[in-house]
Amino acid sequence: KKSVIIDCDPGVDDAIALFMAFASEKLDIKAITTVAGNVRLEKTSKNALKLTEYVGYDVKVAKGASKPIIRELVTAEFVHGQSGLGNMVLPEPDGAFYTKNAYDTIYEEATNCENGLEIIALGPLTNIAITLLKYPEIKEKLKHITIMGGSTELGNHTPAAEFNIYVDPEAAKIVFESGIPITMVGLNVTNKAYITAKDLEEILSYNNRPAELVGKSLMSLVDFFKNLDFKGVPLHDPAAMATAIDEGLLETKLLHVDIETKGNITRGKTVVDIYGVTGKKPNANVAVDIDREKFINLFKRLLKSYGI
């Protein structure tokens, strides 16, 4: 099993990715750390706790940064709703957050982990950057970071930038320059990891609560994406989660990625040196393709496995 921390900002697609992770036999989830992003930190943290309790999964939930390193927070209620979970309504949580913050939790788990801790980052990279600033020696202890963020092509929050990198470009720069092995799962592949109404009908027939919640939530987005000429609903964070569970889903290229922190209209763009014109040493395994069929099969298998 891979020992992982999931750093996230639930977030509809973060929530769905967490349902996959809880069901996967490949992951040993050491902690969930939360960050401000899709909605404010209080909500992303409460959502993470609600999700663990909903499926009865026993794991620490540690709160992280309430805003980006130097910028004001930008949120996305227009996509994820006021609660952050769209139309998913979950009971209020009973449990408490872990006593340590996200940075100290990541450090603690990295130090205690014998087989090398990996991070799956599904939100702005603020928590990971702060951990690297606070504990520089952690670079040697972190085995790998899977990042849902950026794109080799265009953005979604702006024409140039993907949301997670846009929100905290300075944090992204720190993480990409850290020297830790990184896989960047950007929009250029997550947009290909779409789910259709037909797939969702199948998921709704599984007759378990997480599958029903996920199926209904995604079904409500089908028309919206159809109008944007998508073939289905893109599953950004679930695609990144899936590739951490099964590396064989991705085709990647080792490339140099820089983050635009100065531009006005290009803030947060991932500048991917596809042709090696900068001569800079590659710092990321950049996803260039995903096996959609295998991804959807894994997605369905994990959701089907719930017995609640």
Kindly list the catalytic residues.
236
The site string for Ca ion over 233-252 (x = CB under 5 A, - otherwise) reads ----x---------------
Cβ distance to ligand BDR smaller for residue 173 or 236: 236
Contact segment (CB under 5 A) with Ca ion among 1-9, 46-54, 284-292, 298-306 equals 1-9
What residues between 94 and 123 interact with Ca ion by CB under 5 A?
Answer: 122-123
Closest CB to ligand BDR among residues 138, 242? 242
Q: By CB under 5 A, what part of segment 8-67 binds Ca ion? A: 9, 11, 14
CB of 301 to ligand BDR, least distance (A): 22
Q: Which does 162 bind (CB under 5 to 8 A by kind): Ca ion, ligand BDR, none?
A: ligand BDR
- 5 close to 98: Cβ distance less than 8 angstroms: no
Of residues 107 and 163, the one with the C-beta less far from ligand BDR: 163
Q: Which stretch binds Ca ion (CB under 5 A): 61-69, 186-194, 213-221, 231-239?
A: 231-239
52 or 113: CB nearest ligand BDR = 52
Find the shortest distance in angstroms from Cβ 285 to ligand BDR. Answer: 19
DSSP characters over the chain? -EEEEEEE---HHHHHHHHHHHH-TTEEEEEEEE-SSSS-HHHHHHHHHHHHHHHT---EEEE--SS-SSSPP---HHHHTTTSSTT---PPP-S---SS-HHHHHHHHHHH-SS-EEEEE-S-THHHHHHHHH-GGGGGTEEEEEEE---SS--SSSSS--HHHHH-HHHHHHHHTS-S-EEEE-HHHHTTSEE-HHHHHHHHTT-SHHHHHHHHHHHTTHHHHHHTT-SSEE-HHHHHHHHHH-GGGEEEEEE-EEE--S-SSSTT-EEE-TT--S-PPP-EEEEEEE-HHHHHHHHHHHHHT---
Given the complex with Ca ion, which of 123 and 150 has the nearer CB atom?
Answer: 123
Footprint on residues 118-137 left by Ca ion (CB under 5 A): 122-123
Give the residue carrying structure tokens 């990184």. Answer: 182
7 contributes a contact to Ca ion by CB under 5 A? no
Minimum gap (Å) between residue 169 Cβ and ligand BDR: 14
Residue 240 neighbours by CB under 8 Å, 6+ apart: 17, 120, 122, 146, 147, 148, 185, 190
Question: In whole angstroms, how close is the CB of 186 to ligand BDR at the nearest point?
Answer: 9
Nearest approach in angstroms of CB 29 to ligand BDR is 18
> Among Ca ion, ligand BDR, none, what binds residue 150 when CB lies within 5 to 8 Å by partner kind?
none
The nearest distance, CB 9 to Ca ion, in angstroms, is 5
**Cβ-proximal residues to 223 (8 Å cutoff; 6+ apart), any chain:** none
CB closer to ligand BDR, 23 vs 240: 240
Question: Which amino acid would we find at residue 130?
Answer: I
Contacts to ligand BDR by CB under 6 A:
11, 13-14, 38, 76, 79, 122-123, 148, 156, 162-164, 236-237
Strand partners, 29: 4
Contact positions toward Ca ion, by CB under 5 A? 9, 11, 14, 122-123, 237
